[in-house]
Amino acid sequence: MVHLSTNSSIATMVFYSIITFFIGPLITRPFMGDHPDQCIAGFLLGFTVSIFLWMKYGRLLSSKP
């Protein structure tokens, strides 16, 4: 398993973090206007998208040359 061993794997993890913690909540927040925890659904959406992207492309991006 490759974690933070190359610059491309670091960039990939930063990209997935941005999806999970910023883009996901930004997308779902307008739909949860009156709910007290608006960001939880966004975290879940971002995490799910990140997992699917990792399974499809992440291993190729972070593999060692």
In the chain, where the domains are located: 7-62
CA 23 to chain centre: 8
**Which pLDDT belongs to residue 1?**
52
**Which pLDDT belongs to residue 52?**
94
Structure tokens at 17: 């973090």
Neighbours of 58 (CB within 10 A): 19
pLDDT tens for the chain, residues 1 to 65: 556 777 888 888 899 999 999 999 999 998 888 888 888 999 999 999 999 998 888 777 766 55
Query: Which pTM value belongs to this model?
Result: 0.80
Could you give the CA distance from residue 44 to residue 53 in angstroms, rounded to a whole number?
A: 14
All residues at 6 or more sequence positions from 49 whose CB lies less than 8 Å from its CB, including other chains: 19, 24
**Which pLDDT belongs to residue 8?**
80
